[in-house]
Chain A
Amino acid sequence: MTKHILRSAALLYLLMLLVLPLAFIAYRTFEAGLGTFWASLTSPSALHAFRVTIIVAFWAVLLNTIFGVATALLLVRHTFIGKRGLNALIDLPLAVSPVVVGLALILVYGRFTPVGGWLDAVGIQIIFSIPGMVLATVFVSLPLVVRSVVPVLEELGDEQEQAARTLGAGRSATFRRITLPGIRAALGYGIVLCLARALGEYGAVAVVSGRLVDQTQTITLFVEERFQNFDQPAAFAASTALGLLAVATLLITKLIAPKVRSS
């Protein structure tokens, strides 16, 4: 009896919170027909927003993957002074509100600050342009790859790597052929989480981008801007597209997960 009550409660909870809102968005999206949906998504502003989102997400995921694997290796395989500090620092982005992250980046890299001014003088604009948005996205999704990879590296141990070394493999060959295959699934999972976070990021990007339509507008900013301007079909169409992207990334995790090898 208790089991049934618990199950009903859980299902109701998910229904109200997850299924219903998503279903309504999908319903509103396709209410006016596929033609309207397609037209909303292929408007020049929407297409531009998609492009900006993909560019920002690509660089953020790439940077976080490299940084994440390197940091995880550093944390698991080496002991050094300040290790605990680094370990704690990595989780910081989870605790700091994205809006604060955005403001902090403006304070450091804005055009009227020393760092930003110097960069501006050599022709690099960080704030209100793509580099700043990449920085903001990297910041908010920083822990995701590290935290996915660290436990697997710990469990893997370093004996296989040592065995590879004694068999004549150098550091890079050992990493490529032993470490990387060992953490592949976890790394894939971390990358997908990071990608999902990068695609959906709003707060930090909203602050550093300046929300310049057709320039620094990502798809999440596009949704909000269209909604505020009473262009609901466009807002809903873009939302549904974001949702489909999320489903697609989840499917990718399933595909890249290593095949089960035990008989």
Chain B
Amino acid sequence: MGIDVRNVNKAFGSTPVLRDVSVDVTAGSLTALLGPSGGGKSTLLRVIAGLEKPDTGTVVISGVDATRLAPQRRNVGFVFQHYAAFKHMTVFDNVAFGLQVRKRSKSEIRARVGELLELVHLEAFATRYPAQLSGGQRQRMALARALAVEPQVLLLDEPFGALDAQVRKELRAWLRRLHDEVHVTTVFVTHDQEEAIEVADNIVVLADGEVRQAGTPAEVYDQPVNPFVMRFLGPVTNIGDRLVRPHDLELSRDAEPGSSAAEVTRVLRLGFEVRVEMRLDNHDAWAQITRRAADRLSLRPGDTVYVRPNAEARTLAADAA
């Protein structure tokens, strides 16, 4: 079942933000919408939630056409970047809100909210107000609030964007564990490719309102279908007119089939890896090699080295759009 977005177009005024976007989200999966700011990923998420209406196209959630449904009828949980905590309510009342709206019994609400607060490790904060919580705690409260109504789909808009790096890392790992526990179909928006690769089962790369590639983290990282995706997902360098990942380069002292000569300009030792910068024909390139390989080559600035992508490396023509 999951979510099926078909041919969605959306423009704000005369500016198109989504262009013929189609995305399949497998039921029970954790999917990342990844892309640069202004790429349309938040808008797509809001279209799925019903907070924005698509100009054309359809949104099917769990087999039901939800395109024209109001947000409160879609049974989705939405977590906002800035938490959207109900400031005048305690943590308990925030989490209980959806259940109260659904007119559940008091005892049921108390049990369910207690369960959720335990899940997000906020049992001790039930009577506090959002203003008395840290950013990470507020976001966990927002997550519990969204999960309380047992949504078919959980949508998170840059859920960790407003948090500092350390808390973000912790919450990331925690979100993955949480998803493995509750198995609700989850879509989250991020512009951090590391976050997407670490947390998601599937990644949809969006830029300029278009889907550039969709697949597992390994697919989009190792087999990017265009230079944009390749550049966005990880480090790249140019060898001639080919784009290649720097850790997919082989260096050697002797010319080998398919290798090009380069002049070493700088050798940087970064802990376990070594970064070799070089001049190739008339452009700069760099390679990332292991310390052992670097020691064996014992490269110095000014040395000539022969460089070629290794046998498994994926390369792309740099100028293809």
A261 to B85 alpha-carbon distance, docked (Å): 14
A175 CB to nearest B CB, Å: 13
Answer yes or no: A114 CB below 8 A from chain B CBs.
Answer: no
**Per-residue contact bits, chain B 141-166, to A (CB 8 Å; 1 contact, 0 not):** 01001101100000000000000000
A77 CB to nearest B CB, Å: 13
Whether the pair B87, A168 counts as a contact (CB closer than 8 A) is: no
Whether the pair A166, B71 counts as a contact (CB closer than 8 A) is: yes
Whether the pair A160, B87 counts as a contact (CB closer than 8 A) is: yes
Across the interface, name the chain A residue whose C-beta is closest to B90.
A261
Answer yes or no: B132 CB below 8 A from chain A CBs.
Answer: yes
Whether the pair A163, B86 counts as a contact (CB closer than 8 A) is: yes
* Interface set, chain A 136-183, CB cutoff 8 A to B: 159-160, 162-170, 173, 177-178, 181-182
A32 to B181 alpha-carbon distance, docked (Å): 81
Across the interface, name the chain A residue whose C-beta is closest to B77.
A166
Across the interface, name the chain A residue whose C-beta is closest to B89.
A181
**Per-residue contact bits, chain A 70-87, to B (CB 8 Å; 1 contact, 0 not):** 000000000000000000
Whether the pair A168, B84 counts as a contact (CB closer than 8 A) is: no
Which A residues lie within 8 Å of B76 (CB)?
Answer: 166
Which A residues lie within 8 Å of B88 (CB)?
Answer: 181-182, 258
A181 to B97 alpha-carbon distance, docked (Å): 14
A182 to B86 alpha-carbon distance, docked (Å): 9
**Per-residue contact bits, chain B 63-103, to A (CB 8 Å; 1 contact, 0 not):** 00000001110111110101011111000000001100110
Q: How large is the interface on B (under 10, 10 to 19, 20 to 34, 35 or more residues)?
A: 20 to 34
Answer yes or no: A229 CB below 8 A from chain B CBs.
Answer: no
Answer yes or no: A263 CB below 8 A from chain B CBs.
Answer: yes
A177 CB to nearest B CB, Å: 8
Which B residues lie within 8 Å of A167 (CB)?
Answer: 72, 77, 97-98, 101, 145-146, 148-149
* Interface set, chain A 53-83, CB cutoff 8 A to B: none
Which B residues lie within 8 Å of A261 (CB)?
Answer: 129, 131-132
Which B residues lie within 8 Å of A162 (CB)?
Answer: 51, 71, 78, 80, 84
Answer yes or no: B49 CB below 8 A from chain A CBs.
Answer: yes
A263 CB to nearest B CB, Å: 5
Whether the pair A170, B72 counts as a contact (CB closer than 8 A) is: yes
Count of interface residues, chain A, beta-carbon cutoff 8 Å = 20
Most chain B CB atoms below 10 A, which of A181, A261, A263: A261
Known: A166-B77, A167-B145. A262 touches B131 (CB 8 A): yes
Which A residues lie within 8 Å of B102 (CB)?
Answer: 168
| Overall SS of chain A's interface | helix
Whether the pair B86, A262 counts as a contact (CB closer than 8 A) is: no
B90 CB to nearest A CB, Å: 9
A262 to B133 alpha-carbon distance, docked (Å): 10
A167 to B99 alpha-carbon distance, docked (Å): 8
Across the interface, name the chain B residue whose C-beta is closest to A262.
B131
B317 CB to nearest A CB, Å: 44
A166 to B80 alpha-carbon distance, docked (Å): 11
A173 to B70 alpha-carbon distance, docked (Å): 14
Across the interface, name the chain A residue whose C-beta is closest to B88.
A181
A161 CB to nearest B CB, Å: 9
**Per-residue contact bits, chain B 130-142, to A (CB 8 Å; 1 contact, 0 not):** 0110000000001
A255 to B102 alpha-carbon distance, docked (Å): 33
Known: A160-B87, A173-B101. A166 touches B49 (CB 8 A): yes
Across the interface, name the chain A residue whose C-beta is closest to B148.
A167
B227 CB to nearest A CB, Å: 36
Whether the pair A159, B131 counts as a contact (CB closer than 8 A) is: no
Across the interface, name the chain B residue whose C-beta is closest to A181.
B88
B171 CB to nearest A CB, Å: 19
Which A residues lie within 8 Å of B98 (CB)?
Answer: 167-169
Whether the pair A168, B101 counts as a contact (CB closer than 8 A) is: yes
Which A residues lie within 8 Å of B75 (CB)?
Answer: 168
A178 to B132 alpha-carbon distance, docked (Å): 19
A112 to B188 alpha-carbon distance, docked (Å): 68
A170 to B102 alpha-carbon distance, docked (Å): 11
Across the interface, name the chain A residue whose C-beta is closest to B102.
A168
A167 to B72 alpha-carbon distance, docked (Å): 6
* Cβ-defined partner of A159 (8 Å) among B74, B80, B101, B146: B80
A-B pairs, 8 with minimum CB distance: A167-B98, A159-B84, A163-B84, A166-B78, A165-B71, A181-B88, A168-B101, A261-B129
Which residue numbers of B lie inside 8 Å of A, CB to CB?
Answer: 49-51, 70-72, 74-78, 80, 82, 84-88, 97-98, 101-102, 129, 131-132, 142, 145-146, 148-149
Residue pairs across A and B with Cβ atoms less than 8 A apart, 12 shown, are: A162-B78, A162-B84, A165-B51, A166-B50, A166-B72, A166-B78, A167-B98, A168-B75, A168-B101, A168-B149, A261-B131, A261-B132
Which residue numbers of A lie inside 8 Å of B, CB to CB?
Answer: 159-160, 162-170, 173, 177-178, 181-182, 258, 261-263
Q: A159-B80, A168-B75 are in contact. List 7 more A-B contacts (CB 8 A).
A: A163-B84, A165-B50, A167-B149, A168-B102, A168-B149, A169-B101, A181-B88
